[in-house]
Amino acid sequence: MPAADYRLNGEWRGSMAQSANDAVIYGISGTITDAAGNVWGIDSAGQVTIDGVADTTTSQVVELAYVNGLVWQANSQGLWWSKASPAAAWEPQAGTTANPTEPVQASPNGTVIGAASGGPAVSIVDANGNAWRIANGQVLVNGTVDPTTANVVELAYENGQIWQENSQGLWWSKVSPGDMWGPPGGTTVNPVTGTFYIGNTAGNFAIIDIGALTASTGVAAAPQSTSRIVTTGVQAAGTKILVSTDVALLAIDGNSSLTQGATLETLGAYRAPRPVFGPVENDGVMTVTGSTADIGMLDGNGAIVATDGSTLNIQESVAGNTIQLNASTLYIGGQGGGPGTFGAPGGLSFLAPITMDSFSTIILNATQATNEVVNTSGGSVTEVLLYNGTAKVADLHVGSQTMVYATDNPQTGTVTLTANNGSGSLPVASVQPPDPGIGVTDTTTGQPVGPLVQPYTGPVPGLRNQYIAATNDGLNIATTTPNWFIASGRGNDAIDVSRGGGNNVVDGGGGSNFLTGGSGDDTFFVDDRSATSAIWSTIVGFHSGDAVTVWGVTAQSFALTWLDGQGAAGNTGLTLSVTAANKPAADFTLAGYTSADLSSGKLSVSFGTTPDRPGLPGSAYMQVRAN
């Protein structure tokens, strides 16, 4: 060990031996001598001393260490800084939690962290002990901002390399802080596949992009992240993919394939003997061939096709996905039950349409039933309802069969649905056509109209069905289900969406119309773009969140006249008359409102133009909204 002269309080005191590597002192006891003979200690004020002189840039120091030629100081919060000589600056600027005297605990291969929007900040630690994290869209290395980075949304640690992804989905990597990020233009290839570990802590709400899932160890770490986990697809042949999601969501953006006995399991919480599976947003086509998918809540707008003896275990589903069973089994509900019991049933919260062949089975866990109601259309089943006495316990949108039979299994607490009528089947209480959710009467002829109901395909989010009538007759239209687009013709019409509720779009067409809104946020159209005769609509039930859109109107080209006390008898109110040269008048009345509501803020008026679309130019409009 070399010796050197040293100074103490400005005086030379002869020579002192360099301290051993990994030497440590605590508080005011002892000193450390570096290779140049400088003596480092801690004073009673909690500051580092160098040759007896306090370093005023330090505070709350509780420990010093001498590691590989660097002097390290630790404060009472467990942060460390180092430097090689008295004149150097302490680094890293914000400190590091990595103890230099302990072996480096690098993050596991496959660790990913997202840009946190809450909760404690987390880092990836590389093999050399450098801590990497994201703050304000940039990479921080040991607390120091990397100015060459921007719009960073994710970090990953793969095979000794740190990868960063930006908001455009491009990836760059480097091994050490001093390297350049590469490739120069980035790559769209996600480096995270197969086994991965989420470093985000609960409360972060980060988005994690993991590329294609192909396999995992089959062992899931305890749920620890509230991240949204995004994958381009699941591609497993004979392997098991186990993803801990806790309250996270596994979002599958592309197509998936499970074959040769593969298993996809999203583990939301541990239970004995049955786990609670985590939610999945499936926006592609998932093909399950002789394999298994275990899912909690199923969301998204994709499809699951199960064939060749596959098993689907799904707690519940929204209406976006479709499920096709070919010689396969679908279990619904019952996840997370205790010993000898099932968890919550899922028959009333399973909204995904199901098609099944004669070799498939649907089993409702935690369900008992005494009778069955089957709805049909065109000779095929469209809906199966199960009742336990008078209580409805399941409502499933099952199709593609002429009949679906239900069997109650008291010993197992389940109900089985098949296309084959086996022994012990529940009695079919009735077979009836499904309720279309809308009733239409032609008031000109006095006859009911079988409405042609279609799924809504327009641009307004949330709408489910549409009914469009091109007739000069008067119509009386009423809905019993929510979220409709209704457009009537040129007759005098009455349209009522109050019973069905939801958020609806109602266009009374031409003529004189009486429109009744419901409890949701409804929009009423008055279309003056190609009108050939006057339009007057009286709107009843107009409330906060509702709006009237008058198409084809601009503030510059039309005269707008507001009148009080107009409209249908018993439902008078504020009326807007919209007129222009060589155009029929387009009027509407808001029952119960007055012109004072325009200045009080209860009503607001705006103008705009919709954006152009391919083959469909934008349209000017005026909108009156209830606040």
Q: How many CB atoms are located within 10 Å of the residue 555 CB? A: 11
Residues 478 and 607 in one domain: yes
Q: Look at residue 176 and tell me whether its pLDDT is greater than 50.
A: yes
Residues 90 and 137 in one domain: no
**Separation of CA 593 from chain center:** 39
Token pair of 546 as six digits: 């509702």
Handedness of CA 601, 607, 611, 616 (dihedral sign): positive
368 is a domain residue: no
Residues 79 and 119 in one domain: no
Using the CB atoms, write b or e for 299-314: b if 16+ within 10 Å: bbebbbbbbebbbbbb
Handedness of CA 247, 248, 253, 254 (dihedral sign): negative
Residues 22 and 170 in one domain: no
Rounded to 10 degrees, the C-alpha dihedral 408/417/284/214 comes to: 70
Q: Which domain holds residue 568?
A: 438-626
Q: Count of domains in the chain?
A: 3
Token pair of 506 as six digits: 């109602």
In tens, the pLDDT along 304-340 reads 999 999 999 999 999 889 999 999 999 999 998 876 7
3-class SS of residue 599: helix
176 is a domain residue: yes
Residues 455 and 530 in one domain: yes
More confident residue, 525 or 123: 525
Residues 509 and 583 in one domain: yes
Residues 519 and 619 in one domain: yes
CA distances from 407 to 165, 335, 361, 370, 424 (A): 52, 21, 11, 9, 6
Which pLDDT band, with edges at 50, 70 and 90, does 148 fall under? very high
**140, 160, 187: which is the final residue of a domain?**
187
Token pair of 308 as six digits: 């060749």
What is the predicted pLDDT for the residue at 3?
A: 44
Residues 446 and 474 in one domain: yes
174 is a domain residue: yes
Please, which residues bridge with residue 81 across strands?
Answer: 73
Q: Look at residue 479 and tell me whether its pLDDT is greater than 50.
A: yes
The arithmetic mean of pLDDT across residues 165-175, rounded, is: 95
Burial level of 536, CB count in 10 A (0-12/13-18/19+)? buried
Residues 49 and 134 in one domain: no
Q: Provide DSSP, 337-356.
A: --TT------TTSB-S-EEE
Q: How many CB atoms are located within 10 Å of the residue 92 CB? A: 19
556 is a domain residue: yes
484 is a domain residue: yes
Range list of H helices, 359-414: none
What is the predicted pLDDT for the residue at 430?
A: 66
Burial level of 606, CB count in 10 A (0-12/13-18/19+)? exposed
38 is a domain residue: yes
Cβ atoms 8, 18 nearer than 8 A: no
193 is a domain residue: no
For the chain, the average pLDDT equals: 88
Q: Look at residue 583 and tell me whether its pLDDT is greater than 90.
A: no
Rounded to 10 degrees, the C-alpha dihedral 316/322/328/330 comes to: 10
In tens, the pLDDT along 373-429 reads 888 877 788 899 999 988 899 999 998 888 999 999 998 899 999 998 876 788 887
Nearest alpha-carbon partner for 304 in 312, 229, 294:
312
Cβ atoms 440, 395 nearer than 8 A: no
Please, which residues bridge with residue 587 across strands?
Answer: 536, 577
Residues 89 and 178 in one domain: no
Rounded to 10 degrees, the C-alpha dihedral 606/612/617/618 comes to: 0
Residues 451 and 591 in one domain: yes
Q: What is the pTM of this model?
A: 0.57
Residues 92 and 174 in one domain: no
Nearest alpha-carbon partner for 401 in 312, 319, 480, 325:
325
Amino acid in the structure at residue 508: G
Which residues make Cβ contacts (< 8 Å) with residue 172, sequence separation at least 6?
Answer: 163, 164, 181, 182, 183, 186, 187
Distance from the first to the final alpha carbon of the chain:
81
333 is a domain residue: no
**187, 206, 228: which is the final residue of a domain?**
187
3-class SS of residue 227: coil
What is the predicted pLDDT for the residue at 316?
A: 96
Burial level of 605, CB count in 10 A (0-12/13-18/19+)? middle
Cβ atoms 430, 448 nearer than 8 A: no
**187, 222, 241: which is the final residue of a domain?**
187
Token pair of 362 as six digits: 């649907």
